[in-house]
Chain A
Amino acid sequence: MIQARRFALAADRPDVPGVDRAVALRHDGERMSAVASRRPSPIAWLIAPALLLFVLFFVLPFAVMVAMSFFSSNPIGNPHAVVTTRHYQRFIEDSAGIFHDALWETLRIGVITTIVSLLIGYPLAHWMARMQSRLGHALALMAVITPLLTGIVVRTFAWMTILQDKGVINTTLISWGVIHKPLPLMYNEFGTVVALVHIYVPFMVLTLIGVIGRIDGRLEQAARSLGAGRLRAFVEVTLPLSLPGVLAGSLLVFALSISAYVTPSLMGGTAVLTLPMLIAQQVNTSFNPGFAGALGVVLLSVSLAIVIAYNRILARLAGEQGLA
């Protein structure tokens, strides 16, 4: 650590003052990585274990699943299974008028959850990264991590108890005479998003905290001492530097919330139907893994397209290529 700091200071350039220095440092870093050689370096071999893991335990099983999605039923269990594209046709035609809505609803809930998690997670992460007290930091960290440890189903039941008609909020408000009929806090998209945000904010915070913590506090101070307001110093220095964290956190939360099924099915009641809920239904109760696989392929394709587009946009915003 001390070593690292010494090298960091050695790399500093004392000749450029104030805000300009902070901004220059940032641009400098960007230039450096842009100039860096494009030839694969020996470090590239470090990708091998991950590639092996993914090929054996993801690509191959996924290929099996995709193959299954082109069979009328499981060809291993059922010798009468035939090759068909009907699962995909069923989704595309959507004669019942629920599948396309479900896809749209899945993505909408994913985006809303991501935005709200970011709005909640960023201030928390910023506060914690800049916190001076060691004890305060440890306590806040525990508070952020604890919700992750409760177990997904138990945590969702806790939210049900808070939000349902006879739940904590409605019971309390009714007994105070503030309301007479329970507020519709769950069995809808609102309750679903609240519970999802609660689960995923910690992922956002922990991702951001590392990135914001790595941003040299002196940069913001330098900007401030030269008369930039607190807000301007934040917007011009800290925020741009933390964009990789925003990207990482948002992608995690988005990926997690579009693939969640336990929470929406418990919190959403009849009002919410997402693609992962349909997939779970097809697997668990309609015994149609072929159609479930087809729905999975659709969801994965759409979300990968979104993730790649998002990567591109944010990379451009950050004024840098290869940010992903």
Chain B
Amino acid sequence: MSVALNKRPFDLGKAAYLGLNLLLLAFLLVPIAIILVFALNPTPYISFPPVGITLHWFDKFFETGDFMRSLWLSLWIAACVLVLSVVIGGACALALARGHLPGQAFLTAFFMSPLMLPAILTGLALFQSYLLAGIGRPVWGLIMAHTLIAVPYVLRTTLAVLHNFDRRIEEAASVLGASPARVFFEVTLPLIQPGVFAGGVFAFIVSFDQFPVSLFLVVPKGETLPVVLFNYMKFDLDGAIAAASMVSILLALAVVLTLEKLIGLKAYVKL
């Protein structure tokens, strides 16, 4: 790829392309910088410019039992949702792309619909149904609710990759004598991996950051972090929420990077 580009000493187009992308990244990151400023600013409300630096809010975050309990609960739920939705959503994507199902367009739109219904209604409807079924509000109910919202992401991202997938590769593999299982694990899976990875990251994040669906499904002392933060902010809009946000970023990034390490995200870039 670089052979053609290196002919000219300075490539204006390429520099502009790089500049544009750095600018776009800056747009994504500026608010994060602002949150870091809040987290370190001693003022008990969000203000600009900052007047100093303190770790007080981090201290408060770590010392507040509600925050810590809900943080771990959220991570635990998000991990379950990640696994469930990758398996369910990935399988569903394969079925839709390969199964020659009738009404495929309808099914695909159907599986998207939990995203289009305002999540507060999904949460309320699930709460109502759980009560009608007499099961109360168990944690697994919350996990299933999050999985329901996460599956469409995995499905979409996996379908998108499956779509560009050259079926002849699979066919070639089986012509060369590979068993169906081997074709799946050695050919199909590595090829759809980037889609599944993106979907898995979404699933984790969607669950970890899920507020409206959880709203009705959490029980006292069993609230997830976004619910705790939202209710905290109703009364106190101080740096503790920013500190919570920074801690969440670090923890969740660690999860994502571990995933990348395990799955080897980079592999797909240069096929």
Contact = CB atoms under 8 A, between A and B. Distances in A.
Nearest to B270: A217
A36 B100 CA distance: 9
Interface in B214-254: 225-226, 229-230, 233, 237, 241-242, 244-245, 248-249, 252-253
B198 A206 contact: yes
Contacts of A37: 100
17 contacts: A29-B164, A44-B98, A46-B91, A47-B92, A47-B95, A147-B32, A148-B205, A150-B35, A154-B245, A209-B194, A210-B198, A214-B164, A221-B4, A248-B156, A259-B119, A292-B124, A300-B116
B209 A151 contact: yes
Interface in B118-168: 118-122, 124-126, 128-129, 131-132, 144-145, 147-148, 151-153, 155-157, 159-161, 163-168
Interface string A123-154: 11001011110100110111111111111111
Contacts of B120: 261, 276, 279-280, 283-284
Contacts of B245: 150-151, 154-155
A40 B102 contact: yes
Given A64-B125, A127-B21, A307 B100 contact: no
A304 interface: yes
B128 to A, nearest CB: 5
Contacts of B95: 43-47, 50
B253 A142 contact: yes
A57 interface: yes
Given A32-B167, A123-B24, A251-B112, A61 B129 contact: yes
Interface string A298-324: 011001100110011000000000111
Contact of A149 (B20, B165, B252): B252
B211 A1 contact: no
Given A147-B28, A209-B194, A230 B13 contact: yes
A293 to B, nearest CB: 7
Contacts of A247: 160
Contacts of B42: none
A26 to B, nearest CB: 10
Nearest to B185: A3
B156 A154 contact: no
Contacts of A61: 122, 125-126, 128-129
B34 interface: yes
B39 to A, nearest CB: 10
Interface string B182-205: 000011001100110110011001
Contacts of B80: none
Interface in A150-178: 150-155, 157-162, 166-168, 171
B161 A33 contact: no
A123 B169 CA distance: 29
B114 A147 contact: no
Interface string B86-99: 01110110111011
B118 A50 contact: no
A111 interface: no
Contact size range, A = 35 or more
A120 B22 CA distance: 11
B31 interface: yes
Tell me the interface secondary structure of chain B in the complex: helix
A56 B151 CA distance: 14
A149 B205 contact: yes
Contact size range, B = 35 or more
B34 A168 contact: yes
Interface in A77-107: none
A4 B191 contact: yes
A124 B24 contact: yes
A214 B48 contact: no
Most buried by A among B117, B128, B260: B117
B75 to A, nearest CB: 12
A225 interface: yes
Nearest to B32: A146
Contact of A296 (B88, B118, B190): B118
Given A7-B172, A149-B205, A259-B119, A154 B191 contact: no
A8 B161 contact: no
A14 interface: no
A225 B1 CA distance: 10
A190 interface: no
B18 to A, nearest CB: 8
Contacts of B248: 149-151
A267 to B, nearest CB: 12
Most buried by A among B109, B111, B163, B169: B163
Interface stretch (B51-59, B61-69, B261-269): B261-269
A198 to B, nearest CB: 7
Contacts of A146: 28-29, 32, 249, 253
B271 interface: yes
Contacts of B91: 46-47, 49-50
Nearest to B241: A154
Most buried by B among A3, A130, A159: A3
A68 B128 contact: yes
B115 to A, nearest CB: 4
A155 B201 CA distance: 19
B28 A201 contact: yes
A268 interface: no
Instruction: For the complex of A and B, list the 4 residue pairs with the smallest distance between their C-beta atoms, beginning with the closest.
Output: A44-B99, A50-B92, A210-B194, A47-B95
